[in-house]
Amino acid sequence: MVDLSSFFSDKLYLQPTHLCEIMTRHGSDKGAARIEGPDHNYTTFYHFLWKDKTQEVVKVFEMGLGSNNTDVLYNMGPSGIPGASLRGWREYFPSAMIYGADIDRRVLFNEDRIRTFYCDQTDPDAIADLWGHCGDEFDIIVDDGYHALHANSIFLDHSISRLKRGGLYVIEDVDSGSFPDAKALVKTYNRMFWAQLVKIPNAKNTKDNNVILIAKP
């Protein structure tokens, strides 16, 4: 179980963090160095979860590099920076190898401590091929790919086995309109793991500033 009480009671979601600054500098939309009105403030939540483990995390995966090609579903627009959050994770976790995947082959890249691969997260065969390249035992898996619960569910079902014990799996951008299905997914995964739908307060965004968090005891 993950104790989130102080995150809400102490209103930590309103306090800019070191991770906010890092992600902002790399061009990620996960949070902002100034907290006044960002579309998302996931970085406040992630810093709460991992601030004491930055040296311990050794393997991170994120689905969705953030395509800037407008012919791709859920693209970031032409001004987006593909791989921005991967570079942010690399800086935040100085000992970690960072892996990523995207359906848009044009934005794949490899850098120091970053490896990226093609994957259609709605295709179980493509997911299996992805993990054949990346392996398992991930400390953190983040799904920031298709912002649609059916796609999130497919990827989760075929990827949770790659999360190490004690690791955390996050599904970002859970739309408030899909809360009934999200709660059903949480209920299913609570039979085997610890799972919770987390609504992160944000005055500017009351629609999709929400995550599903799954811990593997």
**What is the Cα–Cα distance from 160 to 86, expressed in whole angstroms?**
20
- Above pLDDT 90, what percent of the chain? 87
pLDDT digits (tens, 9 = 90+) for 105-163: 999 999 999 999 999 999 999 999 999 999 999 999 999 999 899 999 999 999 999 99
Check residue 121 and give its pLDDT.
97
Check residue 37 and give its pLDDT.
61
Lookup result for tokens 């920076």: 81
What pLDDT band is residue 75 in, cutting at 50, 70 and 90?
confident
Strands (DSSP E) found in 31-156 = 59-63, 97-102, 110-111, 114-118, 138-143
Asked if residue 171 lies in contact with residue 186, where contact means CB atoms within 8 angstroms, the answer is: no
Q: Beta-carbon neighbour count of residue 41 at 10 Å? A: 26
